[in-house]
Structure 1
Amino acid sequence: MELLNLLITQFTKSRVEQIEHFMNHPHEVQQETLSNLLIQAKNTEWGRKYGYSSIKNAEEYRQRVPLSAYDDLSPYIKRMMNGEQNLLWHSDIQWYAKSSGTTSDRSKFLPVSEEALEDCHFRGGKDLITLYLDRNPDSRIFLGKTVSVGGTLQTYEGNDDIYTGAISAIITKNLPIWAEYARTPSTSIAFLPWEEKLDAMAKSIAEQNVTNIMGLPTWTKVVLERVLEITGKKNILEVWPNLEFFAHGGVAFGPYRELFNQFIPSDSVNYIDIYNASEGFFGLQDGDCEEDEMLLMLDYGVYYEFLPMEESGEESTAAVGLEGMEVGKNYALLISTNAGLWRYKIGDTIRFTSTVPYRFKISGRVKHFMNAFGEELMVENAEQAMARASEATGALIHEFTAAPVFMQNGEKGRHEWLVEFTTAPDNEEKFKEALDEALRSVNSDYDSRRHKDLALLPPVVHILPKGTFYNWLKSKGKLGGQNKVPRLSNSREYVEDILAAVNTTTY
């Protein structure tokens, strides 16, 4: 293992040079990516329909090819899952990631080609290690195991050659032997349904020398709590003294930071943001990134475009490439990928913080925001405010969601927050006030509408019993994997559904 650690460290040095190349030549690398995608897909049904063979540049691509939502591509994807090929992408595709970006009952199945696995998802995982080793050359992570908190797989009804499931499970199933040897738990445990998996996983990984963890904070938290219960230890470092880092994605880490500081009481353990979705691996935190900031990875077979968000919170009509992007502005992310997603609206919004190189923060979801009163509250604002309110009141957040209370009977509107705590605040009323103050601090539109209660009354906060969000996700069939609670909604769909099932304390 010492030799393996040395060989891998040497191998990563050449990849660092490639990363530096796309950081220094982003536009050229992205243009080359688009050209390669068009060449590979020109003879597909989609490529023939839009004349990919004659598209010469990005501007012509934007003019000729329409934006795509899932419903636009779904007829092609269903045909592919039933055995047809060469529709959206030239190579045969047998893997489909079951999307869990929301708790909607309607599932999305996103194609995962061999090219996407190798050049995007696997490369993202390798680059995570590469950049970590580049700034931590004395690392000994390969002397132990990686804990991966993932999902399940199943064959597609009607075609046993097609597999569907969480992208984490698809990646695990296709890992090379050396990588599979370095991870835990075994696939016999990893692919179990969540409630069967939790105890078996915790017992198995508790006996390993774990040096790094990858997963969503929400589900990783549940696993680590169970490990501590089983072992009787006070913190995770008593179980895994050689733990070096936790790579997390899916939700902002801010509201969970203090909780993980208690799980892992050491300044020497690193926390690394990654942006890996069912559709691809798009960004990760390198050594020069600030908190919640990531480097946009430009050579993964993904061509990026950005739709500016209008003041109303809706998408504008004109997409731009990297060259037209403005720092500090919110954009809806569009991707064209080496799995056949074309100008696809992934649903996330991002905000660039730098162009040299291109670094960004995830600011929310296109459909997950609140703007019922002109406040333009993004998920990023909500997570920052929740972290500040928790710190101010000694609370530890487990989950939360929020929605507007619309104006009625002559009364002004307000926001309604449903919060489940791991550790309750020392003063619930103070928590509500701190949340309101933090929201006013991070969002000027919210502040102007809260000024003297002109358009918005103070928020109402419901404290939910422990286990509420878990049981709600379970009722939707959304336990484990990459499933997550929607942070904000401009409708009351989620809030009403949750409140109907529980008794709450209101402040």
Structure 2
Amino acid sequence: MSLVNEVIGFFMKSRIGRIDHFRNYPIETQFNVFHNLIERARFTEFGQHYGFSDIKTIKDFQERVPVVTYEEFFPWMERVLKGEKNIAWPSEITWFSKSSGTTNARSKFIPVSEEALHECNYRGGRDVLSLYVENTPNTQLFTGKSISINGSLHPNPYNESVEAGDVSAIITKNLPKWAEYFRTPPVEVALLDKWEDKINYMIQHCSSENIVAMLGVPTWGVVLIEKIMEETGTKSALDFWPNFEVFFHGAVSFTPYRTMFKERLFPSSQVKYMESYNASEGYFAIQDDLSLQDQMLLMLDYGVFFEFIPAEDWDKSFPKALTLDEVELDKNYALVISTNAGLWRYKLGDTIKFTSKYPFRIKISGRTKHFINVFGEELMVENADQALSKVCQELNLEVLEYTAAPIFMESEAKGGHEWAIELAHDPVNPQEFIQKLDQSLREINSDYDAKRHRDLALQLPVIHFCPKGTFMKWLRKNEKLGGQHKVPRLSNDRKLLEEILEMTES
């Protein structure tokens, strides 16, 4: 097996030269991606509608094609869903990635072309391994198996001949044989529709396998590991996975979970953590330096053309989008993408900040819809994650899930924020937790601090410490168990919060 490990490791390193190329020539790489997309799509209905054949520059493209949300792009998308061809991308769309609902539908359906599957998703998966091997020369990653918690596949409600499902399920369904050899559970188990059946199999069988890595959302990693620990009567995951080496995580911020993983689940300095940014719409960024926590290299040669809308403009009807050469460091941008699956100037919904240029590294700061700004406090998910992590570290607590929403001003009463937080164990002194969280938020966010000054506009937060399993009940009720599903952290309305609080009463 050591020879296999060396051979696969050598193969993975062969990609580093191409990664170095776009590290050194990022603007040129994106310019080439842009022109390739325009050229390939110019005879589609979308391309003809917007005159792709006459587009010569990025400025031409930006002037002709509007920035759109999923809802605004849906008339084009619906035709593809129903089986029409050559609508927004020339090749046949055989898969649709299904993700969280929007205002016009319970779920979003994102096209996955053959080009997107191979040039974006699979390339991203290989590059995660390539960059990990580059960072870890003595890795034994290919001497054991990697465990992943996938979503499932379902018929496309618009066209039953085409399947839809969580993007992780689509990738697993189409994995090459060599990759399947190094992963677990088996495909037929990984794609099971019922979460309970899938997790029970993994508890029974994966605890005795030689697991060296885990891939997935931190939330579901915690659920699986804790269930195996409970079943086996062990104190940490290293008791049943002694050769465990790395957790490849994504989808939600690792900040609230970092202490739990490092000090309780995998209490060893030998275990590494590596972040990637892959969504239903594609693979976008990978941590290329394990010493740079929460920073990821923007992957520029995956058939995705990136644009960036400054935070102050993202709600405008005709926002000005910037290209890579125009961005500034440490500023919030809404991410806009055009892809090799036929998404055009598509507003992804995520916000990012650039942490470096040349190479261009980013960190995810939140969602364009998931923040609280009712009173001018501009509280982003990044702020909430950092504040909660700091408080939990000080009080020796572990946060499992949380969400927060505004308390609206009524009559002469002041507004505020109301939180539902699920911890591994409730705090000994709840009031101390509340005070510390408030203080930490004030230190991190100057706008929040200004509104809290002498209770000017915001009162002290109201916090509900939910029983363990509350958020799982909400996910189960909304059919969001497993895969890349996650609980929205912040909202400008109270719908989700009130649904969560109802769970504590049932």
TM-score between the two structures when normalised by the length of structure 1: 0.96
Q: Give me the whole-angstrom Cα distance separating, in 2, the residues matched to 1:281 and 1:12.
A: 18
State the aligned residue count. 504
- CA drift of 1:431 comes to 0.7
Deviations 1:270-300 (A, max 9, x none): 0111101000010111116622111111011
Deviations 1:313-352 (A, max 9, x none): 7787100100111111111000000111100001000011
**Would the aligned equivalents of 2:313 and 2:320 in 1 still touch at CA under 8 Å?**
no
Q: Give me the whole-angstrom Cα distance separating, in 2, the residues matched to 1:15 and 1:311.
A: 37
- CA drift of 1:312 comes to 9.6
| One-letter amino acid of the counterpart of residue 206, structure 1 | S
Q: Give me the whole-angstrom Cα distance separating, in 1, the residues matched to 2:112 and 2:196.
A: 27
- CA drift of 1:217 comes to 0.5
**Structure 2 counterpart SS, 1:305:** strand
**Structure 2 counterpart SS, 1:326:** coil
- CA drift of 1:255 comes to 0.7
| One-letter amino acid of the counterpart of residue 436, structure 2 | A
**Would the aligned equivalents of 1:256 and 1:397 in 2 still touch at CA under 8 Å?**
yes
Q: Which residue of 2 aligns with 1:56?
A: 56
Q: Which residue of 2 aligns with 1:213?
A: 214
Q: Which residue of 1 aligns with 2:248?
A: 247
- CA drift of 1:79 comes to 2.1
Deviations 1:342-372 (A, max 9, x none): 0000100001111121111111000010111
In structure 2, the CA distance between the partners of 1:406 and 1:312, relative to structure 1 (3 Å rule), is: farther
The 5-angstrom pairing of residues 88-99 of structure 1 reads 88-99=88-99
Q: Which residue of 2 aligns with 1:230?
A: 231
Q: Which residue of 1 aligns with 2:116?
A: 116
Q: CA RMSD in A?
A: 1.8
In structure 2, the CA distance between the partners of 1:74 and 1:128, relative to structure 1 (3 Å rule), is: same
- CA drift of 1:500 comes to 2.8
**Would the aligned equivalents of 1:102 and 1:483 in 2 still touch at CA under 8 Å?**
no
Q: Which residue of 2 aligns with 1:374?
A: 376
Q: Give me the whole-angstrom Cα distance separating, in 2, the residues matched to 1:497 and 1:104.
A: 20
- CA drift of 1:158 comes to 5.9
Q: Does 1:260 align with 2:261?
A: yes
Q: Which residue of 2 aligns with 1:204?
A: 205
**Would the aligned equivalents of 1:103 and 1:473 in 2 still touch at CA under 8 Å?**
no
In structure 2, the CA distance between the partners of 1:316 and 1:263, relative to structure 1 (3 Å rule), is: farther
In structure 2, the CA distance between the partners of 1:315 and 1:380, relative to structure 1 (3 Å rule), is: farther
In structure 2, the CA distance between the partners of 1:293 and 1:102, relative to structure 1 (3 Å rule), is: farther
Instruction: Give the one of 254, 277, 289 matched to 2:279.
Output: 277
| One-letter amino acid of the counterpart of residue 475, structure 2 | L
Q: Give me the whole-angstrom Cα distance separating, in 1, the residues matched to 2:316 and 2:432.
A: 34
The 5-angstrom pairing of residues 356-367 of structure 1 reads 356-367=358-369
**Structure 1 counterpart SS, 2:238:** helix
**Would the aligned equivalents of 1:151 and 1:166 in 2 still touch at CA under 8 Å?**
yes
In structure 2, the CA distance between the partners of 1:226 and 1:208, relative to structure 1 (3 Å rule), is: same
In structure 2, the CA distance between the partners of 1:289 and 1:95, relative to structure 1 (3 Å rule), is: farther
Deviations 1:411-464 (A, max 9, x none): 111111110111222321111111001100110000111111111111111111
Q: Does 1:474 align with 2:476?
A: yes
Q: Which residue of 2 aligns with 1:333?
A: 335
Q: Give me the whole-angstrom Cα distance separating, in 1, the residues matched to 2:449 and 2:195.
A: 42
The 5-angstrom pairing of residues 108-507 of structure 1 reads 108-157=108-157, 159-192=159-192, 193-261=194-262, 262-287=264-289, 290-310=292-312, 317-503=319-505
Q: Give me the whole-angstrom Cα distance separating, in 2, the residues matched to 1:40 and 1:205.
A: 44
Q: Give me the whole-angstrom Cα distance separating, in 2, the residues matched to 1:208 and 1:365.
A: 37
| One-letter amino acid of the counterpart of residue 231, structure 2 | I
**Structure 1 counterpart SS, 2:130:** helix
Deviations 1:235-257 (A, max 9, x none): 11111111110011111111111
Q: Give me the whole-angstrom Cα distance separating, in 1, the residues matched to 2:18 and 2:480.
A: 38
- CA drift of 1:25 comes to 0.6
Q: Give me the whole-angstrom Cα distance separating, in 2, the residues matched to 1:104 and 1:383.
A: 29
**Would the aligned equivalents of 1:276 and 1:282 in 2 still touch at CA under 8 Å?**
yes
Q: Which moved more, 1:151-160 or 1:299-308?
A: 151-160
**Would the aligned equivalents of 2:66 and 2:318 in 1 still touch at CA under 8 Å?**
no
Q: Give me the whole-angstrom Cα distance separating, in 2, the residues matched to 1:353 and 1:138.
A: 29
Q: Give me the whole-angstrom Cα distance separating, in 1, the residues matched to 2:316 and 2:364.
A: 17
In structure 2, the CA distance between the partners of 1:157 and 1:414, relative to structure 1 (3 Å rule), is: closer
- CA drift of 1:490 comes to 0.8
Q: Give me the whole-angstrom Cα distance separating, in 1, the residues matched to 2:455 and 2:73.
A: 45
Deviations 1:158-201 (A, max 9, x none): 63430110000000001000101111001121111212211112
Q: Give me the whole-angstrom Cα distance separating, in 2, the residues matched to 1:434 and 1:449.
A: 17
**Would the aligned equivalents of 2:71 and 2:104 in 1 still touch at CA under 8 Å?**
no
Q: Give me the whole-angstrom Cα distance separating, in 2, the residues matched to 1:336 and 1:36.
A: 11
- CA drift of 1:207 comes to 2.0
Q: Which moved more, 1:304-313 or 1:192-201?
A: 304-313
Q: Give me the whole-angstrom Cα distance separating, in 1, the residues matched to 2:368 and 2:104.
A: 15
- CA drift of 1:104 comes to 9.3
Q: Give me the whole-angstrom Cα distance separating, in 2, the residues matched to 1:392 and 1:68.
A: 43
> What stretches of structure 1 of length at least 5 have no aligned partner?
none
- CA drift of 1:311 comes to 8.2
In structure 2, the CA distance between the partners of 1:103 and 1:12, relative to structure 1 (3 Å rule), is: farther
- CA drift of 1:234 comes to 1.6
**Structure 2 counterpart SS, 1:139:** coil
| One-letter amino acid of the counterpart of residue 270, structure 1 | K
- CA drift of 1:384 comes to 0.4
TM-score between the two structures when normalised by the length of structure 2: 0.96
**Would the aligned equivalents of 1:305 and 1:334 in 2 still touch at CA under 8 Å?**
yes
In structure 2, the CA distance between the partners of 1:102 and 1:129, relative to structure 1 (3 Å rule), is: farther
